[in-house]
Amino acid sequence: MVSLRCKLLVKSELEKLGIDYKSVELGKVKLVEPLSKTNRLMLKTSLHKSGLDVMDDEKAMMIEKIINIIVEMVHYSDEQPVINFSAFLQEKMKQDYHKMAETFSKTKGITIEHFIILHKIEKIKELITYDKLNLTEISHKMHYSSVAHLSRQFKQVTGLTPTFFKNLSRKERNNLEDL
């Protein structure tokens, strides 16, 4: 689950099936009691129809947690971790960063760093589209060292300069779930 919509969908399905839960967070559900095999299958089936999967695999759960941390950091938080991201992730996950990075790369076919950049570019597109901040303000908000650095990275990923993107009549953005 990487969006509020996913969270609401999971809550709805749990309620439809009469499954009691303590909380539904991005990527994680805390149940009151373990699921029976029947309820697990019904939940898995109903979520699958909506494009979501129930994960039992430790690696898949780790990848999902990493994704949720990145999405939360880039899209929903104005705070940048005080320490570098690898140390932040290692502290948050209580696991060795190099092992997480290797597993993430093998599973997703992309490095954690590149995944973060893709998300930052999508957030920058969003901020440009809203047209409330200038490029200097966006650069600061997104924790770039300079507008030039932001512009260079934006062009590497999109093939467009931020200014050209801003002037497009139809600004194309990607769904977070598709990154």
**pLDDT at residue 4, rounded to an integer:** 75
Angle at 171 between CA 140 and CA 78, to 5 degrees: 25
CATH of 57-179, one of 1.10.3720.10, 1.10.10.60, 1.20.1050.10, 3.40.30.10: 1.10.10.60
Residue 2, pLDDT > 60, answer no
Residue 169, pLDDT > 90, answer no
Pick from 80-84, 87-91, 115-119, 159-163: least confident? 80-84
- CATH 1.10.10.60-classified regions of the chain: 57-179
Residue 102 confidence class, pLDDT cut points 50, 70, 90: very high
Q: Output the DSSP codes for 21-86.
A: EEEEETTEEEESSPPPHHHHHHHHHHHHHTT------HHHHHHHHHHHHHHHHHHS-SPPPSS-HH
pLDDT digits (tens, 9 = 90+) for 56-99: 778 888 998 899 899 988 988 877 666 688 998 999 899 999 99
Residue 1, pLDDT > 50, answer no
